[in-house]
Structure 1
Amino acid sequence: MNRGQAAVGSAVFFAVAPAMVAGAVPWLITRWEVAESGHYPVPWTVAGWALVVAGVPLLLHAFGRFVVEGIGTPAPVAPTEKLVVGGAYRFVRNPMYVAVVSTILGQALILARPSLLVYAGVIALAFVTFVTVYEQPTLREQFGAEYDEYRRHVPGWLPRLTPWPRTQYQPPAPPQPYLGPNPRR
């Protein structure tokens, strides 16, 4: 797959998956109308906007990393050729899932809709299950020790405060055979 194909595939997957989960379904639940009971207190609304304003660009950035760095898509049917560990992936292993849940939570706070809080919880549980059952074993099989090292250093759900400094995997040097004592010593 080349980067052009990866970009098209990622755009299609974006429209099918996160745009539906974080956009269309919340709209279907709420029609993006504030609950009749009124707004949450202003700090909650501000927090909601902060989550949406942070979540959407993070989601777009994460998708872009798949194209530029991984030369593939986030879709399981067209995976990356390389393990994506740059950009936001230096802070958290699952920035797309974090961004989608953050965006839904933000909408729940802005619109004062507890139903979206419940929906965000269901989506978060689905993401954790998918990562545990499918994604981690698949990445381990595809990238082996490189993924293991990445997983040891970068948390899955709560971001690191500083970026993981290693962005290129360096396989460990093979062990040197023992050749016996050095006769020149």
Structure 2
Amino acid sequence: MQRSAAAVGSSVFFAAAPGVVAGVIPWWITGWDGSPSWIGWRVLGAVVTACGAVVLLHAFARFVREGVGTPAPVAPTQRLVVGGLYRWVRNPMYIAVVSCVLGQAGVFGAWALAAYGAALMVVFFSFVRLYEEPTLAHQFGADYEAYRATVPGWFPRARPARVPPATS
């Protein structure tokens, strides 16, 4: 897969997956209407949502530039993605999507979105453990196992790991 095809595929997947999960469904739940009882929640929620969006965009760009592929299981990367934010945590994309949802919960004062965000975390964690980790171990072998041993899955390191570029 060429980078241009990876960019197109990633853009389509971005709209179809995180766009729906962190945009359309929260809109469906809240109508993007509501107001928290304390304005600080709105401000904090906006900051968390914006940070989540930036992380998400960075992660998708990493898949195109470094991995030459997409985050979609149907068009995976050719190389293991271990640079950028992936030096701090293995799953920044999932964390970013949940952050966008929880941030919107703050913006709109919507407990239903907070519950939805918690449910998403359970789904994402299960998907990673049951599908993604075994698939990456099979596809990238020792490179992935070394990466997995060095970089935590869900709670970022204090300092970025020194992860050599993948050989596969």
TM-score grouping bracket, smaller chain normalisation: over 0.9
Deviations 1:7-46 (A, max 9, x none): 0000010011000000000001101001xxx523233222
Task: Name the residue aligned to 1:182.
Answer: none
2:57 paired residue number: 60
Among all aligned residue pairs of Structure 1 and Structure 2, give the percentage whose two residues are the same amino acid.
53
Q: Deviations over 1:44-96 (max 9, x none)?
A: 22221221111001000000000000000000000000000001101110011
Residue 11 (structure 2) aligns with: 11
Q: What is the rounded CA distance, in whole Å, between the counterparts of 1:22 and 1:11 in structure 2?
A: 15
Give the total of aligned pairs. Answer: 168
State the TM-score, normalizing by the size of structure 1.
0.87
Instruction: Check if 1:47 corresponds to 2:26.
Output: no
2:129 match: 132
- Residue type of the partner of 2:31? R
Moved over 3 A (4+): none
1:105 paired to 2:102: yes
Q: TM-score, normalised by structure 2?
A: 0.96
Q: Distance in 1 between matches of 2:16 and 2:32?
A: 20
Query: Residue 162 and residue 40 in structure 1: after superposition, are their counterparts in 2 closer, same or farther (change >3 A)?
Result: farther
Contact 1:90 1:167 in 2 (8 A): no
The residue correspondences of 1:111-150 to structure 2 (distance < 5 A) are 111-150=108-147
The correspondence for 1:84, drawn from 81, 84, 91, is 81
Q: Report how far residue 170 of structure 1 moved.
A: 6.7
Which structure has the greater CA radius of gyration? Answer: 1
Matched residues in 2 for 1:40 and 1:82: separation? Answer: 47
SS at match of 1:77: coil
Inter-CA distance 43–167: structure 2 relative to 1 (3 Å threshold): farther
Structure 1's unaligned 5+ residue stretches are 172-185
- The whole-number CA distance in structure 2 between the counterparts of 1:68 and 1:116 is 33
**Stretch deviating more after TM superposition (39-48 or 160-169):** 39-48
2: CA distance, partners of 1:96 / 1:7: 16
User: Amino acid of the residue matched to residue 104 of structure 2?
Assistant: Q
User: Quick one: distance in 2 between partners of 1:130 and 1:21?
Assistant: 15
Higher RCO (CA < 8 A, seq sep 6+): 2
Counterparts of 1:39 and 1:24 in 2: how far apart (Å)?
20
RMSD: 1.3
Deviation (angstroms), 1:166: 2.0
